[in-house]
Amino acid sequence: MLNAIWSRVGFIPSCSRVGWLRPAVALLRQPMESGAWVASREPIGGGEILRERVRLLEAVLDNFPGGISLFDRNLQMVLCNEQQKRLLEYPEHLFASGWPTLEQIFRFNAKRGEYGPGDVEEHVRLRMALAREQRAHVFERTRPNGTVLEIRGMPLQGGGFVTTYQDVTEQRRTQALVAHMAHHDALTNLPNRLLFSDRLNQAVARVRRGEVIALLYLDLDCFKPVNDKFGHAIGDTLLQAVSDRLLTTARDTDTVARLGGDEFVIIQVGLKETAEAATLARRIVKTLGAPYHIADQTIVVGTSIGIAVAPTDGAHPEELLKKADHALYRCKADGRGSFAFFQPSDEADRPSRDSGALALPRRTATAERASVA
């Protein structure tokens, strides 16, 4: 009696996007009485289960919230979902001859400027060398169109690796906005107390290396009557106009900040002589004293300025701020609309002030994380 002959066939190619997962099949060759053979093919080990798994995997790829691609041990792409093609703007011709190799993708990206300026082949060489190391990696890349991608690569057992791409553009914009709001005044967009404190600490560090800096403490003259007469809306607009004038008067290397109310400070760095601080103060008094035209109203305010110089008047941030405040008080007492440098006698003349009013904020761990997110 003739016996049936079974033979197993391993995984075979398929037109499916996950064809490399197509189940193995068994070929049955059944002899006939006439001497002929009848061959049939049947799935091994539950073909329906394997087909269902393939279907589920394809559903996962289609619904993955980002791009995903798979490369084999030879760095040949074997899978790439539609989301990745859209996210990376892969053209159809890149897949015209089947799945491209990783090297082909690197070269395509380098030619279209995805990796920035530089020699195309050098970009390819460096990236291929890293890919061959088969190390897990996470990094961000900003595409030429401004899209920020978070890219994660994970090597697979036996060779190859899977890479995912997530569009984190809006997330990074939100983080940048939150960090900006935490360090800037909402009304004027100038640095607030927190950022001012950080900048002043940096400036004081430069003093320890031999530089000279000046701290100018400004207070508007007659601002309260403007608020009382015209209302807070016009008062706020006036503060914004004052901020704009301060920015145009100070140098780009100086820090202009708002401490609150009608109080502003300027950190002037890199002084060759203290006369430069007097020159800036004189310009500010003149610039801020010019009339403001707001909502059909002509408004005139002045400013008084107290100045402390480091290292002459001290080399600690809060000490400098306190001494500049003392000089400001004397300036107002002497008639306003001018400026004054700190003098030792100012400390005796200045009435005690709430210590919290001049206290600088301390950078917390949360603030540190917000500044680098």
Report in angstroms the alpha-carbon separations of 332 from 9, 304, 328, 335, 351. 96, 6, 6, 5, 13
Report yes or no: 6 and 24 within 8 Å, Cβ to Cβ: no
Report yes or no: 291 and 326 within 8 Å, Cβ to Cβ: no
Q: Which of 18, 30, 25, 29 has the alpha carbon at shortest distance from 46?
A: 25
Annotation says 262 is catalytic: yes
Q: Which two tokens stand for residue 124?
A: 């390819």
The β-bridge relationship of strands 339-341 and 302-310 is parallel
What does the alpha-carbon distance between residue 287 and residue 279 come to, in Å, rounded to a whole number?
A: 12
Number of H helices, E strands in the chain: 13, 15
Report in angstroms the alpha-carbon separations of 214 from 183, 268, 274, 282, 321. 22, 5, 8, 14, 10
CB-hemisphere CA count at 13 Å for 35?
0
What does the alpha-carbon distance between residue 351 and residue 354 come to, in Å, rounded to a whole number?
A: 10
Query: Left (φ > 0), alpha (ψ -120 to 50) or beta: where does 250 sit?
Result: beta
Q: Which two tokens stand for residue 45?
A: 């080990």
Q: Which two tokens stand for residue 203?
A: 């400036």
- Write the single-letter amino acid at 326: H
Of 185, 198, 221, 262, the active-site residue reads 262
What does the alpha-carbon distance between residue 212 and residue 175 come to, in Å, rounded to a whole number?
A: 35
- Report the catalytic residues: 262
